[in-house]
């Protein structure tokens, strides 16, 4: 009878260890995916910021130099 209980506990422990291992792998995969998403967002945020900076700089130059451009175009 004691042998049956020990064997039963061993099987249950093996099932729990297997489930824990599976969940840990899934969690690691989710973590890796999250890191990839964050790095992509950072890259796009940088690209959008750079584009906005260039457009704002060009617009500012055109506003400041409009009189000079108007006199040289005529």
- pLDDT digit of tens for each residue in the chain (74 aa)? 556 666 788 888 889 999 999 999 999 999 999 999 888 888 778 888 888 889 999 999 989 998 887 888 76
**pLDDT at res. 3:** 60
CB within 8 Å of 62: residues ≥ 6 apart: 69
Between vectors from CA 19 to CA 12 and to CA 30, what angle results, nearest 5°?
170
- What's the DSSP call for residue 65? T
End-to-end CA distance of the chain: 106
Q: What does pTM read for this prediction?
A: 0.51
């Amino acid at each position: 009878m004691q042998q049956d209980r020990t064997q039963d506990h061993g099987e249950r422990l093996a099932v729990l260890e297997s489930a824990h291992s599976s969940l840990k792998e899934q969690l690691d995969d989710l973590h890796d995916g999250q890191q990839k998403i964050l790095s992509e967002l950072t890259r796009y945020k940088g690209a959008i910021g750079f584009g906005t900076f260039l457009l704002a700089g060009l617009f500012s130059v055109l506003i400041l130099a409009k009189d000079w451009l108007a006199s040289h175009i005529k």
